[in-house]
Structure 1
Amino acid sequence: MTHTKDKHQQPYSRLRRILLILLKVIMIIALAIVLFIGIVYTVNRVSSHSEMQKLESYGQLVSVAGKQMNVLVEGEGEETIVILPGFGTASPALDFKPLLSRLKSDYKVIVIEPFGYGLSDQTDKERSTANISSEIHEAVQSLGADRYILMAHSISGLYSLDYVNRYPDEVEAFIGLDHSVPSLSEQKVETSDIVPVKWFRNLGFARLQLKLGDNPYEELPYDEKTQEQLNILIRKNMYNDTQLNEAVSMYSNFQTAKALTFPADLPVLFFVQKNHPVVHEWVSEHEKQIVNSKQGEIVLLEADHYLYRSHSMEIAEKIKDFMESRM
């Protein structure tokens, strides 16, 4: 009888041992994951603190809507150019440096760092086009600029479409740097979609993501010091709350912009990448924006979306020619 009982217990004992082994494996994996997250979180906190000690200020702070917005002003030209950044640009003032260095000999150049960008404060205010336009205008006005050329990269082209219609007596011309057009809308982002992104950021995985990615400024005309500061600000501002709120508002901003066009008598100059890697209608939709413009021109460049980084000389020379032809 004892022998029979042992035979029945053997499969059960083996199953129990297997389950215990599996449980131990699961616990080890779980502990390894927790340890990995802890290391990533700690490294991010320590590194962020260290980097803030190395961060150097630039530009000047102006009061906008009760907060501080950073702007950079360079050049002594008679005409003024106001530059607006694309979505997520960590430091507009430093990112536009190659183009800025080409423009400042002929123009006074103002680079705006909207809330959530560069050294500017963050804000809880809705990132609607109307609010963003109003904030930019307040910053420009605080600098005493009353007539200027508006230049915008990427999503700021959408905000500029509102801006030039809102403040027509101030904007002399518009220059688009591979700017967004209303007909090519971004996908809708819900508030719930950004919750996991905040966890990803808060736990320090954004830093790890950047570490595993390529250096966007490699082999471009940025000195080592500028690259160091840019990389610090990328890690500082990546996925911050203000920019995530802007992402949530982006779809509705595109829809609102569909009712707007550039004024027919406003000179407009577009620099557009010739071969968009995804959107085949990229050039044709930009062409539609100037159909009714009395002074409209498109320059196609063999470049990526950040064409001002690699083609600053061509862009600066064309801007000068275009503006002089208006006189």
Structure 2
Amino acid sequence: MIIMQDLITIINNQREVKMMSKKKIIKGILIGVPVLLVLGITLIVVSSYVEHRRLVEQEKAQYPAPGNLVDVNNDGNKLHVYTEGEGDETLVFMSGLGTSSPVYDFQVLYNQLSTDYRIAVVERAGYGWSDITTSPRDIDTVLEETRTALQLSGESPPYILYPHSLSGLEAIYWANLHPEEIKAIVGLDSLVPEYYEQTKEEPSLSRVIGFMTRSGLVRNQPEVFDNSFPAMEKGHLTEEEAKVARTIFYRRVQTENMWEESDMLLTNSKKVAGQGKPDVPFYIFISEENEDAYWKKSLVSYAETTGGEHFILDGGHYIHLDRPEFIAEKSREIIKKINEN
């Protein structure tokens, strides 16, 4: 009997050992698989980032800036100013928030105007061929950088400003602080302070998209550029232009400077609103597709109170890509009217 009990005890102990071993194995798997998964993902991301940085340097050398790179703050960080055309009037194009390549974004419109006028596209810090900077994104700093960039590029006022979206605030502030430099503002569905003061609508930036581009992972998804860069999506780029614009997209999507512009939007809007309306005419091309009634109302009101005009067009927020011919035609009429007054 004693021997039988000992055998049973031994068998039970062996079963317990086996059960404990199985539990340890299962526990090891439950811990090990996630760890291996995290290590694998980390390796993929790090490898992608290293390759991305190598390609960025290669692409910068392969596709240098077509315009002037100027050091506006004497700190080594340069802004890009692209110019073309000749004429008595200089039209300055100013991009909306998050537009990775303003030069290619405005191209379909300024190509139609540079036959008669001088055009300049100022790419703010963190946009296009301009460097990312540590200088703050308050409205005063941004405006002074724009003015200095134009001056260092050999351009001189007075200007006619063509702001899109967010840069409407900068254009209005510019006209208020330096009215002698601005003949008129021709807004492209551009923001006015009254609208943001009323709605406080948050810009649509995404941390996920920012991570995907900075890590280089977006390079494995070419359709992201095709569907996210409006000038490409609407078929306004040649094959060669698309190739260059794509490389800029890979390094200029939702940069640190863009995020800071977004964070400073309320503060900047309040400061511009505090200056009142400028003593220059404000013309505006407005997107019909925007379902926000207050957006249209605030833009129409702003144009009327400054002696300008408004045009509500069938098109999206990037109205200059949807109706470039009409905007160019009306621009000539506007400029003629400005010079006659």
TM-score by length of 2: 0.83
Please report the RMSD computed on the Cα atoms of aligned residues, expressed in angstroms: 2.8
The answer on whether the counterparts of 1:86 and 1:154 sit within 8 Å (CA) in structure 2 is yes
Which is further off, 308-317 or 247-256? 247-256
CA deviation string 1:85-143 (max 9, x = no partner): 11222232232111111111221112112222222333222111011112222233342
Query: Which of the residues 214, 220, 236 maps onto 1:221?
Result: 236
Is 2:261 the partner of 1:246?
yes
1:76 to 63, 79, 86: 86
Alpha-carbon distance in structure 2 between the residues aligned to 1:206 and 1:245: 22
Q: Measured at CA, do residues 49 and 170 of structure 1 come closer, stay the same or move farther in structure 2, by a change above 3 Å? A: closer
Separation in structure 1 between the aligned mates of residue 83 and residue 272 of structure 2, nearest angstrom: 29
Name the structure 1 match of 2:296. Answer: 283
Structure 2 matches for 1:118-133, cutoff 5 A?
118-133=128-143
Match of 1:309 in 2: 321
Do the aligned partners of 2:234 and 2:321 also contact (CA within 8 Å) in 1? Answer: no
Instruction: State which of 173, 176, 181 in structure 1 corresponds to 2:184.
Output: 173
Match of residue 26, structure 1, among 34, 38, 41: 34
Q: Larger Rg: 1 or 2?
A: 2
Which residue of 123, 126, 138 corresponds with 1:113?
123
SS at match of 1:124: coil
Q: Partners of 1:16 and 1:306 in 2: how far apart? A: 60
Aligned length: 320
- For structure 2, the 5+ residue unaligned runs are 1-8
Matched, 1:138 2:143: no
Pairing of 1:1-327 with structure 2 (within 5 A): 1-9=9-17, 11-66=19-74, 67-142=77-152, 143-182=154-193, 183-184=195-196, 185-187=200-202, 202-205=214-217, 207=219, 212=224, 214-215=226-227, 216=229, 217-263=232-278, 265-276=279-290, 279-293=292-306, 295-326=307-338, 327=340
Contact residue 71 and residue 111 of structure 1 kept, 8 A: yes
Q: Which is further off, 143-152 or 16-25? A: 16-25
Aligned pair in 2 of structure 1 residues 48, 137: CA closer, same or farther (>3 Å)? closer
What is the Cα deviation at residue 222 of structure 1? Answer: 1.6
Distance across 1 between alignment mates of 2:29 and 2:159: 72
Q: CA deviation at 1:154?
A: 1.2
Would you say the 8 A contact 2:286–2:296 is kept in 1? yes
User: With structure 1 as the length reference, what TM-score do the two structures score?
Assistant: 0.86
1 CA distance for matches of 2:69 and 2:14? 82
Q: Does the 8 A contact of 2:87 with 2:118 survive in 1?
A: yes
Q: 1:65, CA displacement in angstroms?
A: 2.7
User: Given the superposition, is the C-alpha separation of residues 65 and 281 from structure 1 closer, same or farther in structure 2, using an over 3 Å criterion?
Assistant: same
Higher fraction of helix: 2
Unpaired runs of at least 5, structure 1: none
Equivalent position amino acid for 1:96 in 2: F
Q: Tell me if the contact between 1:178 and 1:305 (Cα under 8 Å) persists in the aligned partners.
A: yes
Distance 1:39 1:225, change over 3 A: same
Is the 1:129–1:253 Cα contact (8 Å) retained in structure 2?
yes
Q: Percent identity?
A: 27
> After alignment, is 13-22 or 78-87 more displaced?
13-22
Give the drift of 1:255. 2.5
